[in-house]
Structure 1
Amino acid sequence: MRQPMSRFLRPRFSAWLLVLPLFLFSAATFVVPIVMMLARSVQDPELSRAFPQTAAALALWDGRDLPPASSIDTFIAELRDARGTEGLSFAANRLNSEISGFRSMLLRTARSLPRDRQDDPVAALARIDARWGERSTWAAMRRASGPFTDGFLLAALDRQRNDDGAVVRVAEERAVFVTVLLRTLWISTLVTVFCLLLGYPVAYLLASMPGRIANPLLVLVLIPFWTSVLVRTTAWVVLLQRDGMVNGLLQRLGLIEQPLTLIYNRTGVLIAMVHVLLPLMVLPLYSVMKGIGRAPMLAAMSLGARPFEAFLRVYLPQSVAGIGAGCLLVFISALGYYVTPELAGGGGDQMISYFIAFYTNRTTNWGLAGALSLILLVVTGLLYVAYARLSRGPRAPA
């Protein structure tokens, strides 16, 4: 009995050993960095590292009036010790995301602190900056005292906690991320619809042709994959300019009198993204249609159905799997696009990936960048789950 079992397990174990290096490489270069980035959306260590005793004291503060004088004394002592350190700079950046101008106030206070201990620490700080006498200043420090927070996730949804700890909507001029997320979903939806409308006839034509003709044409569909996204987007920027080839051709044909604004707006983004992502729609459709063949259509027409009716009732339902796979690929790919909207769009066409890159590279606010990434990942996961459930179809009755 052991002999057959060992013969069964040995090939499976060998197969796992073969894929183990690839699995470890993927985990080290892909999974672990993503998990670390997403973890930053709930981590908040900056202030507690620079002012550990102050963070512990503020955690015990009831939030009414001002913190006790002993807590403020502790803060002053730790601020003196942190003066000129890297930790103070990180804490100042973190607090600046709570209240605009907090960074300059904290650094100025660190430079201007008196050397001797003061009988009234609040008054000593207020002489440097009057905002130290406001409850909102200390409430912001308590929200940032970590080591974990929901502040970044709330900010990514245009929400925040007020001085009393309640979740409220941010000011109207700061409410941008929900609008950006909806814009990202809308642009991705439009790109998916256009890719389906353009890709379905192409895939149908390729699947209906003999292999000696379809294969060279399929290579033409794959040619865009041989060029980087940056090059393809830059080419569209050149073509769609007011004095570019597209406007010039339309004017020569007499279709327009004045050049159209086709770039640095939503139109340019859609054209460039559809061109880049169209092969991702054609390939799944082609693979499914190739398996359908022409026999079902011919059989339906031989039974009296008109060609269009035969297509709607026989061919189209069988190609739904390819439609779903192509739409999922295009939509999920479009959600994370950064280069194309950045180059071909205007300020009102930037998608959520632009803000993730902005907070990662320019402001080094990794917490907010991680929160936006997490929201994008959740949306993508929900779409995949919805597609997986819909693709199963109705269950057969027991």
Structure 2
Amino acid sequence: MQALLLALPLLVFLLSTFIAPIALLLARSVENREVSDSMPALTRALDAWDGHGVPDEHTFALLATGLREAQQNGQLGTVARRLNFAQAGFRSLLIRTERQLPADTPPAWKPALVELDERWNSPETWRQLKRAAASPTPDFLLAAVDAQVTPQGSVAFVPDNASVYRQAFARTISISATVTLLCLVLGYPVAWLLANLPAKSSNRLMLLVIVPFWTSLLVRTTAWYVLLQPGGVINSLLMGLGLVTHPLPLVFNRTGVLIGMTHVLLPYMILAIYSVMKSVSPVYVRAAQSLGAHPFTAFVRVYIPQTLPGVGAGCFLVFVLALGYYITPALLGGAGDEMISQLIAIQTNTQLNWGLAGALSAYLVIFTAIFYFLFNRIVGIDRLRFG
């Protein structure tokens, strides 16, 4: 109980500033309150409508009343923006209809609204309005994987050449896996060197690994932009040495993204592997060599297996951090290097589509959880085998 009370302030802080905001964002992936909160009567009428043809006169009257009330309450723009996510042009349809509503109540609202815009006589328009008024909704979760509900009620994916989010997920996984592999190839020898040098030399070199943590991520990424641009330090040096005749395309492409992300995430891989290597006794390798094993064979078959928990932890840490990277791909990448984090930022900051941003975040969290489960199973097997 005393330990719980001591940790309680930290738990409250994490819950209020970290867990609760994430939970709220994920909940937005299925919430759909804009239309139902602004036009409750119309929402109930659409919920009772069977979806065939166009609704009756009563529903048309509720639409006209709902548009006027939403405009008076300042919520028409929010409703119009939400409907425009479902079908392009819906925003202009709602706003123009509300502006042109007759001041006096007509004998029948249905022909009056159809006269204002012929789209009100289309069953598809009303079906989109019915779907937009339903909550919870799977629309955002479907849109996050480039899918939608057809008029027949089935789920259909857009063609691969028109896919945006599926390609972004595949690109995010590909870039993260490549960065993880590069960090492993570069970090393992450095970790081995730090673990086997004398303590005094190892501590000095360790400073070079830790110093990047004291530098802002934005500063480090901007520095790579200066180094990699066509007139930057690296291209100028290569051209000055006569190794190339034209500047190499090192920025605003996949190369710049991989270089920048590898540089930022490499210390995580080194420290994870180093922490395990320090606990590996050199006696095992010497024993294998004394029994006739070649030094390379002893290293591969005796030393490396004992460091696999550190390799696994480093790969998991780097891969998960790379999945959510935003600043480095945004500054060093090109149009074809957008990752999921950038698309989430666009939906929240530019499009103001919090539902789709929540759906993309939900898929990212689910994929990370699946990867963690698989990683945990694999590492558990490795520990049984080499522990």
TM-score (norm 1): 0.94
Q: Once structures 1 and 2 are overlaid, which stretch shifts more, 358-367 or 194-203?
A: 358-367
For 1:39 and 1:190, the matched residues in 2 are separated by 32
Q: Once structures 1 and 2 are overlaid, which stretch shifts more, 288-297 or 101-110?
A: 288-297
For 2:119 and 2:203, the matched residues in 1 are separated by 71
For 1:161 and 1:53, the matched residues in 2 are separated by 25
For 1:132 and 1:68, the matched residues in 2 are separated by 12
* SS of residue in 2 equivalent to 1:168: strand
Aligned pairs (5 A) from 1:276-291: 276-291=264-279
- Tell me what 1:34 maps to: 22
RMSD over aligned Cα atoms? 1.4
Contact 2:149 2:155 in 1 (8 A): yes
* SS of residue in 1 equivalent to 2:156: strand
For 2:154 and 2:307, the matched residues in 1 are separated by 50
Q: Offset of 1:74 from its aligned partner?
A: 1.4
- Tell me what 2:195 maps to: 207
2:58 maps to which of 41, 59, 70: 70
- Tell me what 2:292 maps to: 304
For 2:272 and 2:374, the matched residues in 1 are separated by 19
- Tell me what 1:183 maps to: 171
For 2:365 and 2:44, the matched residues in 1 are separated by 33
- Whether 1:346 aligns to 2:334 is yes
1:123 maps to which of 87, 97, 111: 111
- Whether 1:361 aligns to 2:349 is yes
1:335 maps to which of 308, 316, 323: 323
Q: Offset of 1:165 from its aligned partner?
A: 2.5
Aligned pairs (5 A) from 1:106-185: 106-170=94-158, 175-185=163-173
Q: Offset of 1:121 from its aligned partner?
A: 2.7
Q: Offset of 1:172 from its aligned partner?
A: 5.9
Residue 212 of structure 2 aligns with an amino acid whose one-letter code is: P
Residue 34 of structure 1 aligns with an amino acid whose one-letter code is: I
- Whether 1:247 aligns to 2:232 is no
Structure 1 gap ranges (5+): 1-12
**Percent identity for Structure 1 against Structure 2:** 49
For 2:162 and 2:58, the matched residues in 1 are separated by 35
Q: Offset of 1:86 from its aligned partner?
A: 2.4
Contact 1:356 1:369 in 2 (8 A): yes
Structure 2 gap ranges (5+): none
Aligned pairs (5 A) from 1:223-234: 223-234=211-222
* SS of residue in 2 equivalent to 1:305: coil
Question: Residues 173, 365 of structure 1: CA spacing in aligned structure 2 closer, same or farther, 3 A cutoff?
Answer: farther
For 1:51 and 1:109, the matched residues in 2 are separated by 15
For 2:173 and 2:57, the matched residues in 1 are separated by 50
Aligned pairs (5 A) from 1:369-380: 369-380=357-368
- Whether 1:263 aligns to 2:245 is no
- Tell me what 1:10 maps to: none
* SS of residue in 2 equivalent to 1:275: helix
2:82 maps to which of 88, 94, 97: 94
**1:272-291: CA deviations, max 9, x gaps?**
00000000100010000111
Residue 321 of structure 1 aligns with an amino acid whose one-letter code is: P
1:318 maps to which of 303, 306, 313: 306
- Tell me what 2:374 maps to: 386
**1:51-86: CA deviations, max 9, x gaps?**
111111111111111112221121112222222432
For 1:325 and 1:253, the matched residues in 2 are separated by 41
Contact 2:195 2:278 in 1 (8 A): yes
* SS of residue in 1 equivalent to 2:86: coil
**1:243-263: CA deviations, max 9, x gaps?**
111111222332212110100
* SS of residue in 2 equivalent to 1:86: coil
For 1:297 and 1:223, the matched residues in 2 are separated by 32
Contact 1:63 1:164 in 2 (8 A): no
For 2:74 and 2:219, the matched residues in 1 are separated by 40
Q: Offset of 1:171 from its aligned partner?
A: 5.9
For 1:68 and 1:172, the matched residues in 2 are separated by 39
- Tell me what 1:9 maps to: none
Q: Once structures 1 and 2 are overlaid, which stretch shifts more, 125-134 or 19-28?
A: 125-134
Q: Offset of 1:173 from its aligned partner?
A: 6.6
**1:16-61: CA deviations, max 9, x gaps?**
1111111111111111111111100010000001111111111111
Residue 280 of structure 2 aligns with an amino acid whose one-letter code is: I
2:37 maps to which of 39, 43, 49: 49
